[in-house]
Structure 1
Amino acid sequence: WMKSHAAILSWSPDSGYSLFFQALSMKRILLLCALVTSAVCGAAERNVIFFITDDESPTLGCYGDTCAVTPHIDALAA
């Protein structure tokens, strides 16, 4: 198990893993997170939102950027 797990973490385009297997691995990780969260929270209802972005930089108002106007993200971060 550790050998295959390490291979996933050290993925490169030449390693032979296709985009399908990368997506499958990500789905498994998200499913595991959801199961752990539901087990920990028990009967308490929680709303969880995952934001997945690419090439995000700290150009958000909640990070202190004075040029970026991001009131909705700032409200979520508060």
Structure 2
Amino acid sequence: MAVTLDEQLLEILACPAPDHAPLRVGSPGDPQGDALTCTSCGRVFPVRDGIPVLLLDEVVAGPDAEGNQDGSSVDGA
């Protein structure tokens, strides 16, 4: 299901990382998914029950996800 957010809200939402880049609807693998993706760093934030969860601890893909972007774990193991 595609995220349906008010256009004005989507215009003011930004990635909570220091660069504060705009967000776009969907994820790289699913443009219609319930997620918002940072246009700069690529972090993917979930949208639960129509509410964007813009917490760095909740990132589902991108630099802050469980593993690095290349698929290796954060601790190098």
Give the TM-score taking structure 1 as reference length. 0.22
* Structure having greater relative contact order (Cα 8 Å, sep ≥ 6): 2
TM-score, normalised relative to structure 2: 0.22
Q: Which has the higher strand share?
A: 2
Larger radius of gyration: 1
